[in-house]
């Protein structure tokens, strides 16, 4: 679970991700945005699953459409819930990931089909605040004052083994 802030512009940040992350991060963004709706506008209940009591956030109108709440305490999920501007940044990033997926793979991601239109509307009770500092979900050794520089370093050092841009041959300048 992460939001790879490799640029402060959500569109450019999505376009710069490697092919594998275009697939994976589209789903993760849909999960975090769905979770934001459930945490902010939903009601916490408990369900019994495999003989265990499990937390469940029931949404009053979108319960059957949204993905279930996931990673509710993850820094990137919390960041998405923190302000309307964070949510909007993340939504635009999600839409661009969906567009990149279609461009690179020639098909529509399931999360795009299911949630693009639904997630466009922000949670009703989200705090009306400006964009806050991006969450840094990475080992301490890559963190610095700049989220973008931190994510560049994290990507180069931790994701190099699988990072490829074969679908469009658009390797970001910072990668080289």
Confidence band (pLDDT; 50, 70, 90) for 111?
Answer: very high
164, 20 in Cβ contact below 8 A?
yes
DSSP 27-54: HHHHHHHHHHHHHHHSEEEEEEETTEEE
Residue range 119-140: average pLDDT?
99
- For the beta carbon of residue 5, count every other beta carbon within 10 angstroms: 24
142, 154 in Cβ contact below 8 A?
yes
- For the beta carbon of residue 41, count every other beta carbon within 10 angstroms: 18
Q: What is the pLDDT of residue 169?
A: 79
pTM over 0.95: yes
Question: For 19-57, how does the pLDDT look when each residue is reduced to its tens digit (9 = 90+)?
Answer: 999 999 999 999 999 999 999 999 999 999 999 999 999
Residue range 58-87: average pLDDT?
98
Q: What is the pLDDT of residue 90?
A: 99
Q: What is the pLDDT of residue 170?
A: 84
Q: What is the pLDDT of residue 168?
A: 81
Q: What is the pLDDT of residue 99?
A: 98
Question: For 151-173, how does the pLDDT look when each residue is reduced to its tens digit (9 = 90+)?
Answer: 999 999 999 999 999 988 789 99
């Amino acid at each position: 679970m992460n939001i790879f802030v490799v640029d402060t512009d959500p569109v450019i940040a999505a376009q710069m991700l490697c092919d594998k992350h275009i697939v994976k991060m589209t789903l993760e963004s849909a999960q975090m945005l769905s979770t934001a709706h459930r945490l902010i506008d939903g009601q916490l209940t408990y369900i019994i699953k495999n003989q265990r009591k499990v937390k469940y956030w029931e949404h009053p109108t979108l319960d059957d459409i949204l993905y279930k709440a996931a990673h509710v305490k993850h820094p990137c999920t919390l960041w998405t819930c923190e302000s309307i501007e964070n949510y909007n940044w993340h939504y635009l990033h999600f839409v661009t990931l969906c567009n990149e997926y279609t461009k690179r793979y020639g098909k529509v991601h399931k999360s795009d089909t299911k949630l693009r239109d639904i997630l466009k509307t922000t949670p009703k009770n989200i705090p009306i605040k400006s964009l806050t500092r991006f969450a840094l979900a990475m080992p301490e050794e890559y963190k610095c004052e700049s989220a973008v520089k931190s994510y560049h370093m994290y990507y180069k050092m931790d994701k190099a083994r699988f990072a490829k841009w074969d679908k469009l041959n658009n390797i970001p300048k910072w990668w080289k």
